[in-house]
Homo-oligomer: A and B are copies of this chain.
Amino acid sequence: MYRSHTCGELRSSDINNTVTLSGWVQKVRDKGFMIWIDLRDRYGITQLIFDEERTSSALINQAKTLGREFVIQIKGTVIERASKNPNIPTGDVEILVSELQILNEALLPPFTIEDETDGGEELRMKYRYLDIRRNPVRKNLIFRSKVSMAVRNYLSNEGFIEVETPYLIKSTPEGARDFVVPSRMNAGQFYALPQSPQTFKQLLMIGGMDKYFQIVKCFRDEDLRADRQPEFTQIDCEMAFVEQEDILTAFEGLTRHLLKEINGVEIHKFPRMTFDEAMQKYGNDKPDIRFGMEFGELNEVSQHKDFNIFNQAELVVGIAIPGGNSYSRKDIDKLVEWVKRPQIGALGMVYVRCNEDGSYKSSVDKFYDQDDLATWAAKTKAKSGDLICVLSGETNKVRPQLSALRMELAERLNLRDPKVFAPLWVVDFPLLEWDEDSERYHAMHHPFTSPKPGQLELLATNPGEVKANAYDLVLNGNEIGGGSIRIHDKKTQALLFGYLGFTPEEAKAQFGFLMNAFEYGAPPHGGIAFGLDRLVAILGGQETIRDFIAFPKNNSGRDVMIDAPATIDAMQLDELNLKLNLKS
Protein backbone atom coordinates (compact mmCIF):
# COMPACT_ATOMS: atom_id res chain seq x y z
CA MET A 1 0.00 0.00 0.00
CA TYR A 2 1.59 3.19 -1.17
CA ARG A 3 -0.38 5.62 0.98
CA SER A 4 -2.83 5.80 3.84
CA HIS A 5 -3.91 9.33 2.92
CA THR A 6 -3.57 11.71 0.00
CA CYS A 7 -1.56 14.92 0.26
CA GLY A 8 -4.72 17.00 0.53
CA GLU A 9 -6.37 15.15 3.36
CA LEU A 10 -4.71 15.60 6.72
CA ARG A 11 -6.07 18.03 9.32
CA SER A 12 -5.56 18.88 13.00
CA SER A 13 -7.82 15.99 13.93
CA ASP A 14 -5.19 13.62 12.51
CA ILE A 15 -2.46 14.86 14.88
CA ASN A 16 -0.43 12.02 16.48
CA ASN A 17 -1.55 9.52 13.86
CA THR A 18 1.00 7.58 11.87
CA VAL A 19 0.45 8.01 8.15
CA THR A 20 1.95 6.96 4.83
CA LEU A 21 1.99 9.46 1.98
CA SER A 22 3.24 9.30 -1.60
CA GLY A 23 3.74 12.13 -4.03
CA TRP A 24 6.07 14.49 -5.79
CA VAL A 25 8.65 16.74 -4.19
CA GLN A 26 7.33 20.22 -4.97
CA LYS A 27 9.89 22.18 -2.99
CA VAL A 28 12.76 21.51 -0.57
CA ARG A 29 13.75 24.12 2.00
CA ASP A 30 17.01 23.04 3.57
CA LYS A 31 18.07 25.09 6.61
CA GLY A 32 20.84 22.62 7.46
CA PHE A 33 19.47 21.56 10.84
CA MET A 34 15.97 21.39 9.49
CA ILE A 35 14.50 20.39 6.14
CA TRP A 36 10.96 21.07 4.97
CA ILE A 37 9.56 19.41 1.92
CA ASP A 38 6.29 20.21 0.18
CA LEU A 39 4.89 16.87 -0.96
CA ARG A 40 2.36 17.23 -3.79
CA ASP A 41 -0.26 15.02 -5.40
CA ARG A 42 -3.49 15.69 -7.28
CA TYR A 43 -5.29 16.41 -4.03
CA GLY A 44 -3.00 18.96 -2.46
CA ILE A 45 0.26 19.65 -0.69
CA THR A 46 1.39 18.38 2.71
CA GLN A 47 4.48 19.66 4.44
CA LEU A 48 7.07 17.15 5.59
CA ILE A 49 9.63 17.98 8.24
CA PHE A 50 13.01 16.47 9.05
CA ASP A 51 14.95 18.02 11.94
CA GLU A 52 18.22 17.27 13.67
CA GLU A 53 16.62 16.78 17.06
CA ARG A 54 13.95 14.32 16.07
CA THR A 55 15.17 12.77 12.83
CA SER A 56 18.06 10.35 12.39
CA SER A 57 21.02 11.78 10.56
CA ALA A 58 20.82 8.97 7.99
CA LEU A 59 17.30 10.06 7.12
CA ILE A 60 18.30 13.73 6.99
CA ASN A 61 21.10 12.86 4.62
CA GLN A 62 18.70 10.89 2.46
CA ALA A 63 16.30 13.81 2.39
CA LYS A 64 19.11 16.06 1.23
CA THR A 65 19.45 13.97 -1.93
CA LEU A 66 15.89 14.74 -3.01
CA GLY A 67 15.38 16.98 -5.99
CA ARG A 68 12.34 18.67 -7.48
CA GLU A 69 9.75 16.25 -8.86
CA PHE A 70 11.29 13.17 -7.24
CA VAL A 71 8.57 10.64 -6.44
CA ILE A 72 8.75 9.55 -2.82
CA GLN A 73 6.87 7.58 -0.21
CA ILE A 74 7.14 8.53 3.45
CA LYS A 75 5.94 7.26 6.77
CA GLY A 76 5.65 9.62 9.70
CA THR A 77 3.60 11.17 12.44
CA VAL A 78 1.17 14.01 11.96
CA ILE A 79 2.21 16.90 14.19
CA GLU A 80 0.98 20.42 14.73
CA ARG A 81 2.75 22.98 12.62
CA ALA A 82 4.69 25.69 14.42
CA SER A 83 3.74 28.35 11.91
CA LYS A 84 0.44 27.47 10.31
CA ASN A 85 -0.37 28.18 6.68
CA PRO A 86 -3.98 29.31 6.37
CA ASN A 87 -3.78 29.27 2.56
CA ILE A 88 -3.90 25.50 2.19
CA PRO A 89 -6.35 23.03 3.78
CA THR A 90 -3.51 20.96 5.26
CA GLY A 91 -1.80 24.07 6.62
CA ASP A 92 -2.35 23.27 10.30
CA VAL A 93 -0.20 20.15 10.26
CA GLU A 94 3.05 18.70 9.02
CA ILE A 95 4.52 15.20 8.99
CA LEU A 96 7.54 14.34 11.10
CA VAL A 97 9.07 11.77 8.77
CA SER A 98 10.38 8.47 10.12
CA GLU A 99 10.85 6.53 6.86
CA LEU A 100 11.59 7.72 3.35
CA GLN A 101 11.62 5.73 0.14
CA ILE A 102 12.51 7.17 -3.24
CA LEU A 103 10.05 5.62 -5.68
CA ASN A 104 11.52 7.32 -8.71
CA GLU A 105 14.09 9.99 -9.35
CA ALA A 106 13.48 12.92 -11.66
CA LEU A 107 15.60 14.96 -13.98
CA LEU A 108 15.24 18.67 -13.50
CA PRO A 109 12.02 19.52 -15.37
CA PRO A 110 12.47 21.76 -18.42
CA PHE A 111 10.13 24.33 -16.87
CA THR A 112 8.91 25.02 -13.35
CA ILE A 113 5.89 23.07 -12.14
CA GLU A 114 4.20 26.14 -10.70
CA ASP A 115 0.93 27.98 -11.34
CA GLU A 116 2.93 30.65 -13.16
CA THR A 117 5.51 28.68 -15.09
CA ASP A 118 8.56 29.86 -16.99
CA GLY A 119 7.82 27.40 -19.81
CA GLY A 120 6.64 28.65 -23.20
CA GLU A 121 3.71 27.09 -25.07
CA GLU A 122 5.84 24.90 -27.35
CA LEU A 123 7.92 23.49 -24.51
CA ARG A 124 4.89 22.85 -22.35
CA MET A 125 3.19 20.99 -25.19
CA LYS A 126 6.24 18.82 -25.77
CA TYR A 127 6.28 17.87 -22.08
CA ARG A 128 2.52 18.03 -21.67
CA TYR A 129 2.70 15.31 -18.98
CA LEU A 130 4.67 17.76 -16.85
CA ASP A 131 2.41 20.67 -17.78
CA ILE A 132 -0.55 18.63 -16.52
CA ARG A 133 1.09 18.51 -13.09
CA ARG A 134 0.53 22.27 -12.84
CA ASN A 135 -2.57 23.35 -10.91
CA PRO A 136 -4.23 25.41 -13.66
CA VAL A 137 -4.00 22.66 -16.28
CA ARG A 138 -5.03 19.89 -13.89
CA LYS A 139 -7.95 21.95 -12.64
CA ASN A 140 -9.10 22.61 -16.21
CA LEU A 141 -9.13 18.89 -17.00
CA ILE A 142 -10.99 18.06 -13.80
CA PHE A 143 -13.41 20.89 -14.59
CA ARG A 144 -14.02 19.43 -18.05
CA SER A 145 -14.77 16.01 -16.54
CA LYS A 146 -17.22 17.65 -14.15
CA VAL A 147 -19.03 19.50 -16.94
CA SER A 148 -19.28 16.30 -19.02
CA MET A 149 -20.77 14.40 -16.10
CA ALA A 150 -23.25 17.20 -15.43
CA VAL A 151 -24.33 17.13 -19.08
CA ARG A 152 -24.72 13.37 -19.06
CA ASN A 153 -26.64 13.25 -15.81
CA TYR A 154 -28.98 16.04 -16.86
CA LEU A 155 -29.75 14.59 -20.25
CA SER A 156 -30.13 11.06 -18.89
CA ASN A 157 -32.57 12.29 -16.30
CA GLU A 158 -34.49 13.98 -19.10
CA GLY A 159 -34.85 10.63 -20.88
CA PHE A 160 -32.11 11.04 -23.45
CA ILE A 161 -30.27 7.85 -24.38
CA GLU A 162 -26.54 7.99 -25.10
CA VAL A 163 -25.93 5.97 -28.24
CA GLU A 164 -22.46 5.44 -29.67
CA THR A 165 -22.37 6.00 -33.42
CA PRO A 166 -19.57 4.66 -35.62
CA TYR A 167 -16.24 6.41 -36.23
CA LEU A 168 -15.42 4.56 -39.44
CA ILE A 169 -18.00 5.94 -41.83
CA LYS A 170 -18.18 7.21 -45.39
CA SER A 171 -16.60 10.27 -46.95
CA THR A 172 -18.95 12.99 -48.21
CA PRO A 173 -17.62 15.97 -50.13
CA GLU A 174 -20.24 18.37 -48.71
CA GLY A 175 -18.94 20.68 -45.98
CA ALA A 176 -15.42 20.57 -44.61
CA ARG A 177 -12.77 18.10 -45.70
CA ASP A 178 -12.89 14.60 -44.23
CA PHE A 179 -10.04 12.69 -42.69
CA VAL A 180 -10.03 9.34 -44.47
CA VAL A 181 -8.90 5.88 -43.36
CA PRO A 182 -7.75 3.41 -46.00
CA SER A 183 -9.38 0.00 -45.69
CA ARG A 184 -7.00 -2.92 -45.95
CA MET A 185 -9.75 -5.49 -46.28
CA ASN A 186 -11.54 -3.52 -49.01
CA ALA A 187 -8.72 -2.59 -51.38
CA GLY A 188 -8.91 0.89 -52.88
CA GLN A 189 -11.68 1.93 -50.51
CA PHE A 190 -11.65 4.33 -47.60
CA TYR A 191 -13.60 5.04 -44.47
CA ALA A 192 -13.96 8.62 -43.32
CA LEU A 193 -13.89 9.88 -39.75
CA PRO A 194 -17.14 11.67 -38.89
CA GLN A 195 -17.32 15.45 -39.03
CA SER A 196 -20.35 14.88 -36.84
CA PRO A 197 -22.76 11.98 -36.28
CA GLN A 198 -25.42 14.00 -38.17
CA THR A 199 -26.86 11.31 -40.44
CA PHE A 200 -26.62 8.62 -37.75
CA LYS A 201 -28.53 10.65 -35.23
CA GLN A 202 -31.22 11.27 -37.82
CA LEU A 203 -31.35 7.54 -38.48
CA LEU A 204 -31.73 6.96 -34.75
CA MET A 205 -34.77 9.23 -34.81
CA ILE A 206 -36.15 7.29 -37.74
CA GLY A 207 -35.36 4.21 -35.64
CA GLY A 208 -37.62 5.51 -32.87
CA MET A 209 -34.97 6.27 -30.24
CA ASP A 210 -36.89 9.51 -29.65
CA LYS A 211 -34.24 11.34 -27.59
CA TYR A 212 -30.57 10.80 -28.32
CA PHE A 213 -27.37 12.34 -27.12
CA GLN A 214 -23.70 11.55 -27.31
CA ILE A 215 -20.52 13.21 -26.18
CA VAL A 216 -18.41 12.35 -29.17
CA LYS A 217 -15.19 13.16 -30.99
CA CYS A 218 -15.56 14.74 -34.43
CA PHE A 219 -12.92 15.35 -37.06
CA ARG A 220 -12.31 18.04 -39.68
CA ASP A 221 -9.31 18.24 -41.94
CA GLU A 222 -9.26 22.01 -42.21
CA ASP A 223 -6.36 24.37 -42.43
CA LEU A 224 -6.24 25.22 -38.79
CA ARG A 225 -7.16 28.67 -37.69
CA ALA A 226 -5.98 29.76 -34.28
CA ASP A 227 -7.67 27.74 -31.57
CA ARG A 228 -9.16 25.12 -33.87
CA GLN A 229 -8.32 21.47 -33.45
CA PRO A 230 -8.52 18.74 -36.12
CA GLU A 231 -10.32 16.59 -33.55
CA PHE A 232 -12.86 18.16 -31.25
CA THR A 233 -15.67 17.05 -28.97
CA GLN A 234 -19.36 17.62 -29.49
CA ILE A 235 -22.37 17.17 -27.26
CA ASP A 236 -24.57 15.85 -30.01
CA CYS A 237 -28.33 15.73 -29.47
CA GLU A 238 -31.47 14.90 -31.42
CA MET A 239 -35.18 14.62 -30.61
CA ALA A 240 -38.15 13.28 -32.53
CA PHE A 241 -41.66 14.76 -32.69
CA VAL A 242 -40.40 18.24 -31.96
CA GLU A 243 -40.72 21.74 -33.29
CA GLN A 244 -38.09 24.41 -32.87
CA GLU A 245 -39.69 25.58 -29.64
CA ASP A 246 -39.32 22.13 -28.06
CA ILE A 247 -35.61 22.05 -28.83
CA LEU A 248 -34.99 25.55 -27.53
CA THR A 249 -36.82 24.71 -24.32
CA ALA A 250 -34.99 21.42 -23.82
CA PHE A 251 -31.50 22.81 -24.33
CA GLU A 252 -32.12 26.07 -22.61
CA GLY A 253 -32.87 23.72 -19.71
CA LEU A 254 -29.53 21.98 -20.09
CA THR A 255 -27.60 25.23 -20.33
CA ARG A 256 -29.45 26.76 -17.40
CA HIS A 257 -28.66 23.64 -15.38
CA LEU A 258 -24.95 23.86 -16.23
CA LEU A 259 -24.73 27.55 -15.37
CA LYS A 260 -26.37 26.81 -12.04
CA GLU A 261 -24.55 23.57 -11.22
CA ILE A 262 -21.12 24.55 -12.47
CA ASN A 263 -21.03 28.31 -12.04
CA GLY A 264 -23.72 28.97 -9.45
CA VAL A 265 -25.40 31.45 -11.79
CA GLU A 266 -29.18 31.48 -12.17
CA ILE A 267 -30.61 32.71 -15.44
CA HIS A 268 -34.32 32.33 -15.93
CA LYS A 269 -35.20 32.95 -19.53
CA PHE A 270 -32.67 33.26 -22.32
CA PRO A 271 -33.29 36.20 -24.65
CA ARG A 272 -33.88 35.47 -28.35
CA MET A 273 -32.94 37.45 -31.39
CA THR A 274 -33.34 36.78 -35.08
CA PHE A 275 -30.27 36.42 -37.24
CA ASP A 276 -31.24 39.61 -39.09
CA GLU A 277 -31.56 41.57 -35.87
CA ALA A 278 -28.22 40.27 -34.58
CA MET A 279 -26.53 41.33 -37.78
CA GLN A 280 -28.16 44.73 -37.65
CA LYS A 281 -27.49 45.45 -33.99
CA TYR A 282 -24.12 43.77 -33.57
CA GLY A 283 -22.84 43.04 -37.07
CA ASN A 284 -22.39 39.48 -35.93
CA ASP A 285 -24.46 36.31 -35.58
CA LYS A 286 -22.95 35.52 -32.19
CA PRO A 287 -23.13 38.83 -30.36
CA ASP A 288 -21.71 39.29 -26.91
CA ILE A 289 -24.59 40.93 -25.09
CA ARG A 290 -22.83 41.30 -21.77
CA PHE A 291 -22.44 44.95 -22.76
CA GLY A 292 -24.27 47.43 -24.97
CA MET A 293 -22.56 49.43 -27.72
CA GLU A 294 -25.27 48.48 -30.14
CA PHE A 295 -24.97 49.58 -33.73
CA GLY A 296 -26.79 52.71 -34.84
CA GLU A 297 -27.52 52.73 -38.56
CA LEU A 298 -26.97 56.22 -39.92
CA ASN A 299 -27.91 56.12 -43.61
CA GLU A 300 -30.99 58.29 -43.10
CA VAL A 301 -29.15 60.89 -41.11
CA SER A 302 -25.84 60.96 -42.97
CA GLN A 303 -26.55 60.72 -46.65
CA HIS A 304 -28.11 64.18 -47.12
CA LYS A 305 -24.90 66.18 -47.26
CA ASP A 306 -21.93 66.41 -49.63
CA PHE A 307 -19.87 63.72 -47.96
CA ASN A 308 -19.54 61.34 -50.86
CA ILE A 309 -17.94 58.50 -48.95
CA PHE A 310 -21.15 58.14 -46.95
CA ASN A 311 -23.43 58.96 -49.86
CA GLN A 312 -21.99 56.12 -51.91
CA ALA A 313 -21.97 53.64 -49.06
CA GLU A 314 -24.53 50.86 -48.83
CA LEU A 315 -24.39 51.19 -45.05
CA VAL A 316 -23.22 53.90 -42.67
CA VAL A 317 -23.16 52.58 -39.13
CA GLY A 318 -21.69 53.65 -35.81
CA ILE A 319 -21.22 52.71 -32.19
CA ALA A 320 -20.72 54.83 -29.11
CA ILE A 321 -17.70 54.06 -26.94
CA PRO A 322 -18.64 54.79 -23.33
CA GLY A 323 -16.29 57.49 -22.00
CA GLY A 324 -14.42 57.50 -25.32
CA ASN A 325 -14.24 61.29 -25.44
CA SER A 326 -11.35 60.98 -23.01
CA TYR A 327 -9.25 59.47 -25.82
CA SER A 328 -6.46 61.72 -27.07
CA ARG A 329 -6.12 62.52 -30.75
CA LYS A 330 -3.30 59.98 -30.81
CA ASP A 331 -5.51 57.30 -29.23
CA ILE A 332 -8.11 57.89 -31.89
CA ASP A 333 -5.54 57.81 -34.67
CA LYS A 334 -4.47 54.42 -33.33
CA LEU A 335 -8.07 53.22 -33.44
CA VAL A 336 -8.29 54.35 -37.06
CA GLU A 337 -5.11 52.46 -37.82
CA TRP A 338 -6.52 49.41 -35.99
CA VAL A 339 -9.66 49.24 -38.16
CA LYS A 340 -7.56 49.79 -41.30
CA ARG A 341 -5.32 46.77 -40.60
CA PRO A 342 -5.78 44.07 -43.25
CA GLN A 343 -7.35 41.69 -40.65
CA ILE A 344 -10.21 44.21 -40.26
CA GLY A 345 -10.05 45.94 -43.62
CA ALA A 346 -11.97 49.19 -43.08
CA LEU A 347 -11.01 52.03 -45.43
CA GLY A 348 -11.26 54.63 -42.71
CA MET A 349 -13.22 55.72 -39.69
CA VAL A 350 -15.21 58.81 -38.91
CA TYR A 351 -15.46 59.81 -35.27
CA VAL A 352 -17.58 62.19 -33.23
CA ARG A 353 -16.56 63.41 -29.79
CA CYS A 354 -19.54 63.98 -27.50
CA ASN A 355 -18.37 66.78 -25.27
CA GLU A 356 -19.50 67.18 -21.67
CA ASP A 357 -21.24 70.45 -22.58
CA GLY A 358 -23.50 68.70 -25.11
CA SER A 359 -21.63 69.91 -28.17
CA TYR A 360 -20.02 67.61 -30.73
CA LYS A 361 -16.66 67.65 -32.45
CA SER A 362 -16.19 65.32 -35.38
CA SER A 363 -13.71 64.44 -38.08
CA VAL A 364 -16.35 65.48 -40.63
CA ASP A 365 -17.35 68.87 -39.23
CA LYS A 366 -16.82 70.21 -42.73
CA PHE A 367 -19.92 68.28 -43.87
CA TYR A 368 -22.16 67.90 -40.84
CA ASP A 369 -23.49 70.44 -38.35
CA GLN A 370 -24.31 70.02 -34.68
CA ASP A 371 -27.90 69.01 -35.43
CA ASP A 372 -26.71 66.23 -37.76
CA LEU A 373 -24.29 64.96 -35.15
CA ALA A 374 -26.99 65.07 -32.49
CA THR A 375 -29.09 62.69 -34.61
CA TRP A 376 -26.09 60.35 -34.89
CA ALA A 377 -25.70 60.44 -31.14
CA ALA A 378 -29.37 59.60 -30.75
CA LYS A 379 -29.12 56.66 -33.17
CA THR A 380 -26.01 55.25 -31.46
CA LYS A 381 -27.31 56.11 -27.97
CA ALA A 382 -24.18 58.12 -27.30
CA LYS A 383 -24.04 60.19 -24.13
CA SER A 384 -21.87 63.13 -23.20
CA GLY A 385 -18.35 61.90 -22.75
CA ASP A 386 -18.69 59.16 -25.34
CA LEU A 387 -16.95 58.79 -28.67
CA ILE A 388 -18.94 57.73 -31.73
CA CYS A 389 -17.06 55.62 -34.28
CA VAL A 390 -18.62 55.42 -37.73
CA LEU A 391 -17.74 53.04 -40.56
CA SER A 392 -19.25 52.87 -44.01
CA GLY A 393 -19.22 50.67 -47.09
CA GLU A 394 -20.80 47.44 -48.25
CA THR A 395 -23.14 46.07 -45.62
CA ASN A 396 -21.54 42.61 -45.63
CA LYS A 397 -18.13 44.09 -45.04
CA VAL A 398 -18.81 47.02 -42.78
CA ARG A 399 -20.82 45.05 -40.24
CA PRO A 400 -18.05 42.58 -39.39
CA GLN A 401 -15.57 45.46 -39.32
CA LEU A 402 -17.59 47.44 -36.80
CA SER A 403 -18.29 44.24 -34.87
CA ALA A 404 -14.56 43.60 -34.55
CA LEU A 405 -14.06 47.16 -33.33
CA ARG A 406 -16.87 46.74 -30.82
CA MET A 407 -15.33 43.55 -29.41
CA GLU A 408 -11.86 45.05 -29.29
CA LEU A 409 -13.09 48.10 -27.40
CA ALA A 410 -15.10 45.98 -25.01
CA GLU A 411 -11.97 43.99 -24.29
CA ARG A 412 -9.99 47.16 -23.63
CA LEU A 413 -12.77 48.58 -21.43
CA ASN A 414 -13.01 45.30 -19.45
CA LEU A 415 -16.64 44.91 -20.42
CA ARG A 416 -16.21 41.18 -21.13
CA ASP A 417 -16.36 39.95 -17.54
CA PRO A 418 -15.71 36.17 -17.51
CA LYS A 419 -17.81 35.85 -14.34
CA VAL A 420 -20.89 37.21 -16.10
CA PHE A 421 -22.85 34.85 -18.33
CA ALA A 422 -25.13 36.18 -21.04
CA PRO A 423 -26.69 33.41 -23.11
CA LEU A 424 -28.71 34.26 -26.21
CA TRP A 425 -30.64 32.29 -28.80
CA VAL A 426 -30.11 33.50 -32.34
CA VAL A 427 -32.91 32.13 -34.52
CA ASP A 428 -34.22 32.28 -38.07
CA PHE A 429 -30.89 31.80 -39.80
CA PRO A 430 -30.90 31.93 -43.60
CA LEU A 431 -31.13 28.47 -45.16
CA LEU A 432 -28.42 29.18 -47.71
CA GLU A 433 -25.42 31.41 -47.99
CA TRP A 434 -23.69 32.57 -51.12
CA ASP A 435 -20.16 31.31 -51.58
CA GLU A 436 -17.96 33.73 -53.53
CA ASP A 437 -15.37 31.10 -54.44
CA SER A 438 -17.63 28.45 -55.90
CA GLU A 439 -20.22 31.03 -57.03
CA ARG A 440 -23.11 29.05 -55.68
CA TYR A 441 -25.26 28.69 -52.60
CA HIS A 442 -24.12 26.49 -49.75
CA ALA A 443 -26.18 25.24 -46.85
CA MET A 444 -25.54 27.68 -44.02
CA HIS A 445 -26.08 25.03 -41.33
CA HIS A 446 -26.04 21.76 -43.29
CA PRO A 447 -28.02 20.26 -46.15
CA PHE A 448 -30.47 18.49 -43.81
CA THR A 449 -31.87 21.71 -42.37
CA SER A 450 -35.51 22.40 -43.09
CA PRO A 451 -36.69 25.74 -44.46
CA LYS A 452 -39.32 27.68 -42.49
CA PRO A 453 -42.82 26.49 -43.29
CA GLY A 454 -44.11 28.08 -46.46
CA GLN A 455 -40.74 29.40 -47.61
CA LEU A 456 -39.85 26.51 -49.85
CA GLU A 457 -41.35 28.38 -52.82
CA LEU A 458 -38.88 31.24 -52.35
CA LEU A 459 -36.05 28.83 -53.20
CA ALA A 460 -36.72 29.24 -56.89
CA THR A 461 -36.87 33.03 -56.90
CA ASN A 462 -34.96 34.38 -53.90
CA PRO A 463 -32.90 31.53 -52.44
CA GLY A 464 -30.87 33.90 -50.25
CA GLU A 465 -34.08 35.07 -48.55
CA VAL A 466 -35.24 31.68 -47.38
CA LYS A 467 -35.07 31.37 -43.64
CA ALA A 468 -34.43 28.06 -41.91
CA ASN A 469 -35.62 26.40 -38.74
CA ALA A 470 -32.07 26.86 -37.54
CA TYR A 471 -30.78 28.33 -34.29
CA ASP A 472 -27.57 28.97 -32.45
CA LEU A 473 -27.00 29.21 -28.75
CA VAL A 474 -24.55 32.03 -28.06
CA LEU A 475 -22.77 32.53 -24.77
CA ASN A 476 -20.67 35.61 -24.14
CA GLY A 477 -20.01 36.19 -27.82
CA ASN A 478 -19.21 32.57 -28.65
CA GLU A 479 -21.38 30.13 -30.50
CA ILE A 480 -21.59 27.22 -28.07
CA GLY A 481 -24.30 25.28 -29.86
CA GLY A 482 -26.18 25.20 -33.10
CA GLY A 483 -28.86 23.10 -34.65
CA SER A 484 -31.98 22.89 -36.72
CA ILE A 485 -35.21 21.14 -37.40
CA ARG A 486 -34.40 18.64 -40.12
CA ILE A 487 -36.05 17.78 -43.35
CA HIS A 488 -37.85 14.46 -42.89
CA ASP A 489 -39.31 13.76 -46.30
CA LYS A 490 -37.52 12.53 -49.37
CA LYS A 491 -39.00 15.08 -51.77
CA THR A 492 -37.88 18.15 -49.88
CA GLN A 493 -34.47 16.63 -49.25
CA ALA A 494 -34.03 15.85 -52.93
CA LEU A 495 -35.07 19.43 -53.80
CA LEU A 496 -32.52 20.83 -51.38
CA PHE A 497 -29.72 18.63 -52.66
CA GLY A 498 -30.62 19.93 -56.12
CA TYR A 499 -30.27 23.55 -55.04
CA LEU A 500 -26.95 22.70 -53.41
CA GLY A 501 -25.59 21.46 -56.72
CA PHE A 502 -25.85 17.71 -56.18
CA THR A 503 -26.91 15.68 -59.19
CA PRO A 504 -29.56 13.09 -58.28
CA GLU A 505 -26.86 10.43 -58.74
CA GLU A 506 -24.46 12.16 -56.34
CA ALA A 507 -27.22 12.67 -53.79
CA LYS A 508 -28.07 9.00 -54.05
CA ALA A 509 -24.48 7.76 -53.84
CA GLN A 510 -23.73 9.82 -50.77
CA PHE A 511 -27.00 10.06 -48.90
CA GLY A 512 -29.13 7.38 -50.52
CA PHE A 513 -29.40 5.49 -47.24
CA LEU A 514 -30.88 8.57 -45.54
CA MET A 515 -33.26 9.39 -48.40
CA ASN A 516 -34.39 5.76 -48.38
CA ALA A 517 -34.87 5.89 -44.65
CA PHE A 518 -37.19 8.89 -45.10
CA GLU A 519 -39.52 6.60 -47.03
CA TYR A 520 -40.01 4.16 -44.19
CA GLY A 521 -41.80 6.40 -41.71
CA ALA A 522 -39.46 9.20 -40.67
CA PRO A 523 -40.85 11.29 -37.81
CA PRO A 524 -40.39 15.07 -37.66
CA HIS A 525 -37.13 15.63 -35.81
CA GLY A 526 -34.47 18.14 -34.97
CA GLY A 527 -31.49 18.66 -32.75
CA ILE A 528 -28.51 20.60 -31.68
CA ALA A 529 -24.81 20.10 -31.14
CA PHE A 530 -22.68 21.89 -28.59
CA GLY A 531 -18.94 22.35 -28.96
CA LEU A 532 -17.80 20.85 -25.67
CA ASP A 533 -14.27 22.24 -25.84
CA ARG A 534 -15.53 25.81 -26.16
CA LEU A 535 -18.45 25.37 -23.76
CA VAL A 536 -16.08 24.12 -21.08
CA ALA A 537 -13.61 26.93 -21.72
CA ILE A 538 -16.31 29.60 -21.43
CA LEU A 539 -17.89 28.09 -18.32
CA GLY A 540 -14.34 28.02 -16.97
CA GLY A 541 -14.11 31.76 -17.62
CA GLN A 542 -11.62 31.43 -20.47
CA GLU A 543 -11.70 31.37 -24.23
CA THR A 544 -8.72 29.25 -25.27
CA ILE A 545 -9.96 25.71 -25.87
CA ARG A 546 -6.43 24.29 -25.92
CA ASP A 547 -6.18 24.87 -22.17
CA PHE A 548 -9.08 22.45 -21.65
CA ILE A 549 -7.80 19.61 -23.85
CA ALA A 550 -5.45 17.06 -22.29
CA PHE A 551 -3.28 16.50 -25.35
CA PRO A 552 -4.00 19.20 -27.95
CA LYS A 553 -2.42 19.51 -31.36
CA ASN A 554 -0.59 22.57 -32.58
CA ASN A 555 -1.56 24.78 -35.52
CA SER A 556 -0.03 22.36 -38.02
CA GLY A 557 -2.14 19.55 -36.60
CA ARG A 558 0.87 17.97 -34.93
CA ASP A 559 1.10 16.37 -31.52
CA VAL A 560 4.59 17.59 -30.63
CA MET A 561 4.77 15.33 -27.58
CA ILE A 562 4.43 12.01 -29.37
CA ASP A 563 5.65 13.48 -32.68
CA ALA A 564 2.63 12.56 -34.77
CA PRO A 565 1.79 12.31 -37.57
CA ALA A 566 4.82 10.33 -38.72
CA THR A 567 5.93 8.20 -41.65
CA ILE A 568 4.80 4.59 -41.71
CA ASP A 569 6.46 1.40 -42.94
CA ALA A 570 6.55 0.62 -46.64
CA MET A 571 4.91 -2.70 -45.72
CA GLN A 572 2.00 -0.92 -44.05
CA LEU A 573 1.45 1.22 -47.15
CA ASP A 574 1.66 -1.83 -49.35
CA GLU A 575 -0.91 -3.71 -47.28
CA LEU A 576 -3.21 -0.73 -47.72
CA ASN A 577 -2.72 -0.77 -51.50
CA LEU A 578 -1.27 2.72 -51.44
CA LYS A 579 1.79 4.52 -52.72
CA LEU A 580 3.11 7.88 -51.70
CA ASN A 581 2.71 10.54 -54.37
CA LEU A 582 4.78 13.37 -52.98
CA LYS A 583 5.07 16.58 -54.96
CA SER A 584 8.67 17.64 -55.35
Contact = CB atoms under 8 A, between A and B. Distances in A.
A578 B210 CA distance: 42
A462 interface: no
The 9 A-B pairs of least Cβ separation, nearest first, read A132-B207, A106-B521, A170-B564, A189-B565, A2-B241, A69-B521, A42-B210, A183-B565, A579-B581
A193 B181 contact: yes
29 contacts: A2-B241, A2-B243, A24-B521, A71-B521, A105-B521, A129-B520, A132-B207, A138-B208, A141-B161, A141-B209, A142-B161, A144-B163, A148-B162, A149-B153, A149-B162, A152-B152, A166-B553, A169-B562, A169-B564, A170-B565, A171-B572, A180-B568, A180-B572, A181-B193, A181-B565, A188-B580, A190-B568, A513-B562, A578-B580
Contacts of A217: 164, 167, 217
Nearest to A163: B550
A178 B518 CA distance: 36
A392 to B, nearest CB: 39
B559 A104 contact: no
Nearest to A557: B185
Interface stretch (A82-90, A196-204, A300-308): A196-204
A3 B240 CA distance: 11
B523 A103 contact: yes
Contact of A145 (B24, B163, B233, B583): B163
Interface string A553-584: 10011110111111111001111111111110
A193 to B, nearest CB: 7
A65 to B, nearest CB: 14
Interface string A129-150: 1111100001001101100110
Contact of A576 (B164, B180, B184, B189): B180
A369 interface: no
A242 interface: yes
Contacts of A13: none
Interface of A: 1-3, 6, 22, 24, 40-43, 69-71, 73, 103-107, 109, 127-133, 138, 141-142, 144-145, 148-149, 152-153, 156, 161-171, 173, 177-193, 199-200, 203-204, 206-211, 217, 219, 221, 223-224, 230-231, 233, 241-243, 245-246, 488-489, 512-513, 517-524, 549-551, 553, 556-559, 561-569, 572-583
Given A132-B203, A169-B559, A170-B562, 19 more contacts: A70-B521, A104-B518, A109-B520, A128-B203, A130-B520, A132-B209, A164-B233, A165-B550, A177-B575, A179-B191, A180-B576, A181-B565, A184-B221, A185-B223, A186-B556, A203-B561, A513-B562, A513-B563, A578-B578
B22 A186 contact: no
Contacts of A242: 2
Contacts of A559: 166, 168-170
A581 B574 CA distance: 8
A270 B558 CA distance: 45
A165 B551 contact: yes
Nearest to A218: B167
Contact of A577 (B142, B209, B518, B580): B580
